[in-house]
């Protein structure tokens, strides 16, 4: 559940939102994560993994859609 809430929204936003932003000439997606995406806190590995996914998806997605 944590991974769905923590990172799946990013895929859906990109999949549905980016084509619309391109049609309109631009736009912004603001992703908010946590320092726990870089360093796992004991006892909450799913939370840390979902925040790490946000950093990694952004890093892999943005160059592919032409963001510099």
Number of domains in the chain: 1
pLDDT mean over 51-66 = 75
Give the residue among 54, 68, 55 at the shortest CA–CA distance from 26: 68
Domain that holds residue 29: 2-65
* C-alpha distances in Å from residue 52, one per residue of 21, 34, 43: 25, 8, 16
DSSP state of 39: S
What is the pLDDT, as a whole number, of residue 2? Answer: 62
Convert the pLDDT of each residue in 25-48 to its tens digit.
988 878 777 887 778 788 888 888
């Amino acid at each position: 559940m944590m991974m769905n809430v923590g990172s799946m929204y990013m895929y859906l936003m990109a999949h549905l939102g980016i084509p619309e932003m391109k049609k309109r000439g631009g736009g912004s997606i603001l992703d908010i994560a946590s320092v726990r995406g870089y360093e796992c806190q004991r006892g909450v590995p799913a939370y840390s993994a979902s925040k790490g996914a946000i950093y990694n998806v952004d890093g892999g997605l943005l160059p592919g859609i032409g963001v510099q």
